[in-house]
Amino acid sequence: MKKIKVALLGCGDRGCIYADYSLRNPDDMEVVAVTDISALKREEARVRYSLPEDRAFDSVEAFTAAGIVCDIVIDATMDSAHYPTAMALLHAGYNVLLEKPVCPNKEELLDIQKAAHDNGCKVIVCHVLRYTPFYSAVKKVLAEGKIGRVRSIEMTEHVGMAHFIDSFVRGKWNNEQECGSGLLLAKCCHDVDLMCWLANESRPKFVTSLGFRENFTMDKAPEGATELCFDCPHEKTCNYSAVKIHLDRDTMPFQTWAGIGKPIDTITREEKIEYMKRSAYGRCAYNSGGDIVDNQNVIVSFENGAMGTLNLVGACAKAERYLHIVGTNGEIEGVFESNEFKLRVFTREGRRYSFDTEVISTVEGSELGKHGGGDNEIMRHLVDYLRTGVPTLSLTSIDDSVEGHLCVYAAEMSRKEGKTVDVGDLRA
């Protein structure tokens, strides 16, 4: 069968996770070029994928000018770079696998959608949770009509404490203006996409949202807290200690130490300490300089009357995604991390209305890479799609991804302006 050729644009953690599919499946996929503005990341990726020097580029313009032939380009640049890079790739005629979120506003989103259609290109967004054994099995049950028409989707995402602190309190997504995304777009466009995808027999109509930065504020800091964790009297007892999370546990090293500019395995503890003292990674979590919300709720109503809710809380003791879907003939309830869900279907047997319950396990395949197996599965689906032209339940066009993003934009408008937003107004 045809070996799929891909180019990688943005050689950070996410980009290499997708491109590494070629290392595990060399007969199915091959990386033919890499591009990154960082000379270090570019060279590491070039060596990683065994490429000659003339297949490594420092800009999307240099890549498109070289005329590299490939089936698709993985665009895993930072959020704020998605629009210019994706537009350059589409106008050059490349299909694009685009890391989420697509972009921070509806104008750029609809521009990318239009450019994809105008240039006859495919744009597939990395909504990796769709491809996990858990959510793909849920979607299959819905597609088979086992619980009837979807009436309600109740979702929660509890973001684990260390992840939230590293990414959204001290990390590069801690400031909405600087990174171009609020928490809902940067972290939970996964969840809003899932809601719209699971209920996509109808389109979203109205969105309402409330959200606040209610915990990581100066007034919540313990008395006597200092700007840096290193000299703070509460360092040994604080749940959010930078020393504990970033230095001792080394929670997300690929992200935390990127600013040092050296291969991670060569960075000493002393270098990490000095870096923390001059960067946000050493600052008090209550005084980190960020403005991202840490608590938000979203309500979505669909054109057919179905309702969806998402409860988002950052810095929780246990990371967890909960799902409860009620249909006209039954319901689905489960927790993503448990890799199983309960399917309840109404029955009229006996003297009272009741239901039959089936427990569906999705453990198999869930450990293949990060995101519960989704990172591996999206690439497997992608390779099959590029070979056959036949999409799957999980893999859809940019047109389907637009709906979830529009809901996110609407939710942020609602949160900031205190009103219910008509998604149709954004769509138009």
Q: Determine the pLDDT at residue 19.
A: 98
pTM of the model as a whole: 0.91
CATH topology of domain 4-125: Rossmann fold (3.40.50)
Domain(s) of CATH 3.40.50.720: residues in the chain: 4-125
d(Cα 89, Cα 70) in Å, to the nearest integer?
12
Q: Determine the pLDDT at residue 179.
A: 78
**Token representation of residue 203:** 């389109």
d(Cα 113, Cα 103) in Å, to the nearest integer?
11
Q: Determine the pLDDT at residue 366.
A: 56
Parallel/antiparallel/unpaired status of strands 204-212 and 295-302: antiparallel
Report the number of secondary-structure helices (H) and strands (E) in the chain.
Answer: 17, 15
Q: Determine the pLDDT at residue 428.
A: 81
Domain(s) of CATH 3.30.360.10: residues in the chain: 129-216+292-370+395-427
pLDDT along the chain (428 residues), means of 10: 96 95 97 97 97 98 98 95 97 97 94 98 96 96 97 97 94 85 90 96 96 95 95 96 95 92 93 95 93 96 98 96 98 96 90 86 70 90 97 93 96 97 93
Parallel/antiparallel/unpaired status of strands 72-75 and 56-57: unpaired
In DSSP notation, 235-285 reads TTT-TT-HIIIIIIS--SHHHHTGGG-S-GGG--HHHHHHHHHHSGGGB-G
Task: Name the nearest CA neighbour of 194 among 282, 134, 245, 267.
Answer: 134
d(Cα 198, Cα 143) in Å, to the nearest integer?
9
Please state which CATH class domain 129-216+292-370+395-427 belongs to: alpha beta
Q: Determine the pLDDT at residue 369.
A: 58
